[in-house]
Amino acid sequence: MQTALYLQAKNPEHTFSILDVGQRIKSYEKDFSPFREELQKAQLILFCYPVYTFIAPYQMHRLIELIKADGVDLSGKTASQITTSKYFYDVTAHRYIEENCFDMGMNVVKGLSADMEDLLSEEGRKQAEMFFKQLIFSHEHKLFECTPPLPPVEEKKTYLPVLEDVSKNSFKDVVIVTNCAKDDINLNNMIEDFRRALPFNSRVINLCDFAFSGGCLGCFGCAVTGKCVYKDGFDEFLRNEIQKADAIVYAFTISDHYTGSVFKCYDDRQFCNGHRTVTHGTPMAYIISGNYRYEDNLRTLVEARSEVGGNYLCGVATDEENTSARLKAIADNLAFAINNKLSRTANFYGVGGMKIFRDLIYLMQGIMKADHKFYKKNGIYDFPQKRRAFIFKMKLAGSLMAMPSVQKKLKGKMNNFIIAPYRKVIEEARKGNTDF
């Protein structure tokens, strides 16, 4: 919002109307007419928000629901966005807004992704000004960089329960977290069949039954104590009813290219845990109703959340095809993961995301004390400069390899030197020795 205010100050020839969704979403729920009037007058709509848990905040999700429910015609208008973050999954947040703008017939210009401190630097201010100039130029010349995805072409099929109930093991606890409505036939039936196929006891928590006082305010009140400023008891509910489970399954129907605003409120309010991967090692699975195969951004989000959290993703079951077989397979895989404490190495989604958090928490340890303590305890501060012996070894190797005589000896033999340590590990494994 501060970046938008800066652009307003630098461009007095344009008229800016600022609608504060973060603070006033409840008032717009009661009376949407003031918002509708501003949208109708606008030629260009800028969505400005901080990136919260991989995507736009709950309040922005709720706003999109209100706009679509109201039916205000935004077709042909230009849309873009300004976000601030530490570049942690800003791409998925931007894509979410773009997809919903396309739904409403708007023309989309690529947005500005800024670091939180960019506006305080000359270069950051320059980038913001360049973005706005390019945005106005694109609007006036109808140069739109973003293209809408192809729409789904298949009709949704009704799914009916078909799986047999298996015997249950009472020693494990699987929680299914959902926002399922009573009239959501497919999702209800999928949850029912999954529970039948699962060899463990399970329980369902419907987020619609929890009385959220509101979405995360980004106030940092929980940064030191871990306690949320809201008094609705969500932090204790989260820790005692969900995060203590042996496995967590998320079940939802795709809404506005995500899970719906209630689920997003749940996502954001988990910031009472800060940036701590408190469910690391807990297996997870998803039950999703809707055209999941067409939702590239959502598929990225599902994988990335598991990767960053250190959770073994047991799979995703949808009602697109082979639903009963998929539910049974995921139930079996979840049970196998629980019994064998499965884990897998992180890919770029997990490694890249955690390195951003690592550097952020180290710099902000004075405020984020609980996060800092957690990162120290769990060895997340794996800065490369701490590996002094390895750095020295690489410098020595580089110096030797710069010598013509050494280059001559290594010619054609470099691969042998590289794989020699691995050969030793393999040979020890053949001998049955794992202590090396």
Task: Report if residue 164 sits inside a domain.
Answer: no
* Residue with token string 């973060």: 22
Distance CA 120, CA 114 (A): 11
83 shares a domain with 41: yes
Task: Report if residue 417 sits inside a domain.
Answer: yes
Between vectors from CA 89 to CA 87 and to CA 90, what angle results, nearest 5°?
Answer: 65
217 shares a domain with 333: yes
Task: Report if residue 379 sits inside a domain.
Answer: no
Write out pLDDT tens, residues 277-309.
999 999 999 999 999 999 999 999 999 999 999
Give the per-residue pLDDT at 436.
55
234 shares a domain with 177: yes
339 shares a domain with 193: yes
328 shares a domain with 223: yes
337 shares a domain with 189: yes
Structural domain of 327: 169-348
Task: Report if residue 284 sits inside a domain.
Answer: yes
285 shares a domain with 193: yes
237 shares a domain with 130: no
**Among 348, 366, 400, which residue terminates a domain?**
348
Give the per-residue pLDDT at 434.
63
Total tally of structural domains belonging to the chain: 3
Give the per-residue pLDDT at 36.
97
Task: Report if residue 160 sits inside a domain.
Answer: no
Q: Is the dihedral of CA 386, 390, 393, 395 positive or negative?
A: negative
Quick one: which H or E segment has residue 356? helix 348-363
Task: Report if residue 104 sits inside a domain.
Answer: yes
132 shares a domain with 186: no
Contact 164, 248 (CB under 8 A): no
Distance CA 337, CA 325 (A): 18
281 shares a domain with 179: yes
Write out pLDDT tens, residues 94-134.
999 999 999 999 999 999 999 989 999 999 999 999 999 99
Write out pLDDT tens, residues 3-35.
999 999 999 999 999 999 999 999 999 999 999
* CATH code for position 219: 3.40.50.360
342 shares a domain with 199: yes
Task: Report if residue 146 sits inside a domain.
Answer: no
216 shares a domain with 133: no
Give the per-residue pLDDT at 249.
98
Task: Report if residue 224 sits inside a domain.
Answer: yes
